[in-house]
């Protein structure tokens, strides 16, 4: 991790073939993904380079999904069958067909 005053850069290798960098500044965190593995690269979808998705931190992912479903938004991409619980976070992706083509991720910290 590099400390940039109040801001920081963290690097993670969660599994072979994929590297992550997280750049925090204020209340915003930018996540950079380097997908060296063909399987993970395919899961990233299109575009293969550039901005892949925008993530929002939410207090309660289930409640947020219910509220959005009442407004016509559905789950899609990796989590079209439901919420992904990693033990540290709960993740859900909205269907880009409902969001003007933008992949939106909802993240709830559960630690």
Average pLDDT over residues 27-56: 72
Total Cβ atoms within 10 A of residue 65: 21
Question: Measured between alpha carbons, how far is 79 from 53 in angstroms, rounded to an integer?
Answer: 14
Q: What's the pLDDT tens digit per position in 81-90?
A: 899 998 889 9
Question: Measured between alpha carbons, how far is 72 from 17 in angstroms, rounded to an integer?
Answer: 36
Chain mean pLDDT for the chain: 80
Kindly tell me if the per-residue pLDDT of 23 is higher than 90: no
pTM over 0.85: no
Question: Measured between alpha carbons, how far is 93 from 53 in angstroms, rounded to an integer?
Answer: 9
* Inter-residue contact 44 to 31 (CB < 8 Å): no
Kindly tell me if the per-residue pLDDT of 6 is higher than 70: no
For the chain, the domains span 1-47, 53-111
Instruction: Report domain 53-111's class.
Output: alpha beta
- The bridge status of strand 18-25 relative to strand 28-35 is antiparallel
């Amino acid at each position: 991790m590099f400390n940039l005053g109040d801001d920081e850069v963290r690097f993670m290798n969660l599994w072979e073939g994929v590297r992550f960098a997280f750049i925090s500044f204020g209340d915003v965190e930018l996540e950079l993904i380097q997908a060296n593995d063909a399987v993970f690269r395919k899961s990233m979808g299109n575009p293969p380079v550039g901005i892949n998705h925008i993530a929002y931190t939410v207090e309660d992912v289930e409640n947020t999904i219910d509220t959005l479903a009442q407004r016509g938004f559905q789950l899609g991409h990796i989590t079209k069958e439901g919420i992904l619980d990693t033990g540290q976070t709960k993740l859900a992706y909205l269907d880009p067909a409902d969001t003007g083509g933008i992949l939106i991720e909802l993240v709830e910290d559960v630690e």
